[in-house]
Structure 1
Amino acid sequence: MIPSNRVLAAGMLSAALALAASGSLVRADGAPHAIPAPARDEPAHKAPETIVLAGGCFWGVQGVFQHVKGVTRAISGYAGGALATAHYDMTSRGDTGHAESVAVTFDPAKISLGRILQIYFAVAHDPTELNRQGPDEGSQYRSAIFPRDAEQAEVARDYIGQLDQAHAFAAPIVTRIEPGKSFYPAEAYHQNFLALNPDYPYIVINDLPKIAALRRLYPSEYRADAVLVGAAAGR
């Protein structure tokens, strides 16, 4: 069941659609904006790579990365807690340690980890909001990176320091680096939610502007057709 804070008045839908189409609907802290590329990135390699990213409701984060060239899979799920509590109704309480997350698998020959992180910080969410994102509040909506290895963690940590030093955002970045945590796919009905429900009010208000920002800020990385995951990806 979808929490009530994700359901907006139906009467707002038409206006929101028009705003999203025009690109004038933006985050509360202002429009997503270009930020410096990471000064440090991973060495080029050929093996597919996965990094787990949390930035509020996983619908929008998954939706953004499904439109990024070089991303081969983006699965919504939970990270930070135990397997036994990796369920939507439990995670929504905010006391399981989990964050709504997305496992982003990409081809390093087509897009680097650094570029993935640049899109994550600039477009996919607001990294200055602590334990919340837009209308959603609680630690399950925190900004967090769950690296798969030490190199991912170091690249992410260095990039956060670089962005803070450059004052890329109006407030300090609160994104946490949480290594050593397992990722658990979310229920099937959460997968591809943005792509399958583009008229859903929460998506229109909070997430379609992110897709528009991706297209505007990173046109060479934008792909019109989302990379969808099959039903087997969910539980």
Structure 2
Amino acid sequence: MNRRYTALATFGAGCFWEPQHIFDQVEGIHHSWVGYTGGTKKNPTYEEVCHTNTGHAEVVHLEFDPTVVTYETLLDIFWEIHDPTQMNRQGPDVGTQYRSAIFTHDPYQENAARVSKEAKEASGKFEAPIVTTIQPAPTFWEAEDYHQKYKERLDIRSWMSDIFMKRKKK
């Protein structure tokens, strides 16, 4: 029997299409979904998350093999693919659903996220304070099918890709 060990990671980094596209390219990611978490509405729709006060964030939810890619590596990628200093927005996307957030699945992840955030704050890399929240992962609600693997289906490039590629070159 071929069993693999997997863990979960959930990140809010603005519109969920780009983070899913980037994380899908990481060796050790077995599967990714985009969806909603952190709010009060059960099984919300995209329209509800965008146009009502559900409290949910758009997130990428990852199943990964921690023997291939560590949670700390995923955190490093998370910090690189968005601007964690923007409150309730990323670039042109504005609203609480676009907030920077780390949703942890166990005490190890919570500690790793806090240590990682403190290291980023101390690094001086960001000119403004980091506003990323860290909280235990509540129920994850999978987004509609048309949002899954969106960038791959449409082959689009976004401003987030440009920022990530520029940071990678530095």
What is the root-mean-square deviation of aligned Cα atoms in Å?
A: 1.9
SS of the residue 1:84 aligns to: coil
Of the candidates 158, 165, 168, which is equivalent to residue 205 of structure 1?
Answer: 158
Q: Is the 8 A contact 1:47 1:107 kept in 2?
A: yes
Distance between the aligned counterparts of 2:112 and 2:44, measured in 1?
28
SS of the residue 1:119 aligns to: helix
Q: Alpha carbons of 1:169 and 1:214: their partners in 2 closer, same or farther (altered >3 Å)?
A: closer
Q: Is the 8 A contact 1:133 1:141 kept in 2?
A: yes
Distance between the aligned counterparts of 1:61 and 1:76, measured in 2?
9
Distance between the aligned counterparts of 1:197 and 1:214, measured in 2?
24
Q: After superposition, give the CA deviation of every residue in 1:133-170 in whole Å (9 maximum; x if it has no partner).
A: 01000100000011011111111011111111121212
Amino acid at match of 2:123: A
Runs of 4+ in 1 over 3 A off after TM superposition: 210-217
1:60 aligns with 2:18: yes
Q: CA deviation at 1:85?
A: 5.1
Amino acid at match of 1:208: S
In percent, how many aligned pairs have the same letter? Answer: 36
After alignment, is 89-98 or 79-88 more displaced? 79-88
Of the candidates 121, 135, 140, which is equivalent to residue 79 of structure 2?
Answer: 121
SS of the residue 2:77 aligns to: helix
1:133-152 maps to which residues of 2 (within 5 A)? 133-152=90-109
1:181-196 maps to which residues of 2 (within 5 A)? 181-196=138-153
TM-score w.r.t. structure 1 length?
0.66
Q: Alpha carbons of 1:47 and 1:214: their partners in 2 closer, same or farther (altered >3 Å)?
A: farther
TM-score w.r.t. structure 2 length?
0.90
- 5+ unaligned residues in a row in structure 2: which ranges? none
Equivalent position of 1:172 in the other structure: 129
Q: CA deviation at 1:180?
A: 4.2
Q: CA deviation at 1:104?
A: 1.3
Q: Alpha carbons of 1:211 and 1:160: their partners in 2 closer, same or farther (altered >3 Å)?
A: closer
Equivalent position of 1:107 in the other structure: 65
- 5+ unaligned residues in a row in structure 1: which ranges? 1-45, 218-235
SS of the residue 2:59 aligns to: strand
- Indicate the structure with greater strand content: 2
Distance between the aligned counterparts of 2:25 and 2:43, measured in 1?
30
Amino acid at match of 2:159: N
Q: After superposition, give the CA deviation of every residue in 1:83-139 in whole Å (9 maximum; x if it has no partner).
A: 5352100000251110000101111111100000001101x2111111000100010
Equivalent position of 1:87 in the other structure: 45
Q: How many residues align structurally?
A: 167
SS of the residue 2:108 aligns to: helix
Q: Is the 8 A contact 1:63 1:211 kept in 2?
A: no
Q: Alpha carbons of 1:67 and 1:215: their partners in 2 closer, same or farther (altered >3 Å)?
A: farther
